[in-house]
Amino acid sequence: MMKKILILASLSLLTSCLDISAVMLYGGPGEYNFTNASLDAIDHVDESKIHRLQTFSDQDTIEILYIGDYSQIESDTIILFLHGNVPSMDSYWSTIAHIANLGEQHRYGVMMYDYRGYGKSTGTSTDETSLASDYESVMSWLKDQGLESDRLIVFANSIGSLTAGPAAAGGSLIPIEKLIMEVPQSSSAIIMQSSTGLSLPSSMLTIFEFDLAVDMSNYPAELLWMHGELDATAPFNDAASAMRSHEGSYFEEAIYPSAGHGLRWDIGNEEWDRVLLNFILK
């Protein structure tokens, strides 16, 4: 009986003092180094096309990186990249530069932004509501520049699925017609267990709600899912169950038995590029 009381007391203390949002969404201050100096030569971009922009989400400032000529957004195809759970988007600079060179240099405009509390974006990411607000502020900016659905590609990596899932299911100011999900997280419960090591329902520790299976079942358009079977951060079987709930107009999966969460590095640029371009151009 005493052991049970101690366990319950520990759980009570945990739920009262643990900042679950900080565990699930661990952005932090960071510098930006968006130059060719840190890139492989093959990924070099025209540095005159690197733009730092800002928009506002509620009362917070959202930092945006855009590679391309944003005066041509009304005619260009734009890839919006939703980055994974790192302190800032600076960690994905080489990935974004590589995407800017898919097929040929600057074939597509590429945008990435830091969620509030990540990098130099102000405020704190707390739940799906704050993530959705950040996304909509960026989408509103793109819409004001003339972007339309047939020239928008949303590319979500890892925890970027927390934003992309609800957006694809109908929560996007510009409806999504092409969605790329790379090593996506599948539910708040899985993220919680992975982050804390506790095999508890997420509802015991947080009000954060996220279920990618529901989102994908409500997404009507084209989907590419890329995942490695050895992924320990976003478990493959959980992602498979969620992604295969999609019943939209087109579904493609690229599965790699020997790859983990760092998919591009595990499978190599040639294969990664091939799969992405085939989907984008189909």
Domain limits of the chain? 19-281
Share of residues in the chain with pLDDT > 70 (%) = 83
Task: For the domain made up of 19-281, give the CATH fold.
Answer: Rossmann fold (3.40.50)
Task: Return the half-sphere exposure (C-beta side, CA atoms, 13 A cut-off) of residue 229.
Answer: 5
pLDDT at 192: 58
What DSSP string describes 162-231? HHHHHIIIII-SS--SEEEEES---BHHHHHHHHH---S-GGGT-----BHHHHHHT--SEEEEEEETT-
pLDDT at position 221:
98
DSSP 27: -
Does the pTM surpass 0.85? The reply is yes
Q: What is the pLDDT of residue 28?
A: 79
**Residues of the chain below pLDDT 50:** 2-20, 198-200, 202-205
**pLDDT confidence of residue 264:** 98
Contact 87, 26 (CB under 8 A): yes
- How far apart (Å, rounded) are the C-alpha atoms in residues 35 and 260? 28
Per-residue pLDDT at 235:
93
Cα–Cα separations (whole angstroms), residue 133 to 55, 71, 155, 206, 251: 11, 25, 18, 19, 28
CB atoms within 10 A of CB 280: 19
pLDDT score at 27: 75
Distance from C-alpha of 278 to C-alpha of 268, rounded to nearest angstrom: 16
Cα angle at 49 between 46 and 51, to 5 degrees?
A: 135
Residue 116, CA atoms < 13 Å, CB-side half-sphere: 25
Predicted local confidence at residue 6, as pLDDT? 40
